[in-house]
Amino acid sequence: MSSVPTDRVVNETTLRVRYAETDAMGIVYHTNYLIWFEVGRGELSRQMGVDYRTWEEMGLYLPVVEASCRYLAPARYGDLVIISTWVEEARSRTVIFAYEARLQETGQVLAMGRTVHVCVNRAGQTTQIPPAWREIMSGKTGEK
């Protein structure tokens, strides 16, 4: 069952599984889901109007400080996979993204994940997320 929220801005990005992403078990190697989540995160940011490239141009970075993923079913070469991405929480110095990967053909949920990011400056020091961006990223749709 899908965990995608209905009261949040959600980005949906479709990817096709690359041969490079499979392993000797014939399925997608587990860390690739976290890379796909990075793709979803980038697309959500663009969709919200705060392209991650703009962050870096301003000397701000959002490194991953925590990542987790649960794997429910395997994907295989050539499969189309939909990545749903949303912001679970946007605090003053921290953003939490959540993700769901499912098979386009059947809708089957493949994996669910979560990454925690902290805002740092060029010197690597924790710093505040610009309030305007935090507001945008809070990603509430206003719907109930």
The answer to whether 130 contacts a second copy (rule: CB under 8 A) is no
Q: Does the annotation count 23 as an active-site position?
A: yes
68/92 with CB nearer a second copy: 68
Question: Total residues contacting a second copy (rule CB under 8 A)?
Answer: 39
Nearest to 13 by CA among 110, 107, 94, 80: 80
**What x-and-dash track marks residues 48-67 binding a second copy by CB under 8 A?**
---xxx--x----x-xxxxx
Residue 35, token pair as written in the block:
């890379």
Task: Indicate whether 29 belongs to the interface with a second copy (CB under 8 A).
Answer: yes
Structural element, H or E, at residue 104: none
Do 99 and 3 form a contact (C-beta atoms < 8 A)? Answer: no
Among 2, 7, 78, 135, binds a second copy (CB under 8 A): 78
Please report, as a single letter, which amino acid is at residue 59.
Answer: G
Decide whether 7 or 35 has the Cβ nearer to a second copy: 35
Binds a second copy (CB under 8 A): choice among 74, 94, 96, 138: 74
DSSP secondary structure code for residue 84 in this structure: E
Give the strand pairing for 11-16 and 60-61. Answer: unpaired
Q: Which one, of 78, 69, 80, lies nearest residue 102 by Cα?
A: 80
Annotated catalytic residues are: 23
Residues at the site binding a second copy, with contacts judged by CB under 8 A: 16, 18-20, 22-27, 29-32, 34-35, 38-39, 42, 51-53, 56, 61, 63-72, 74, 76-78, 124
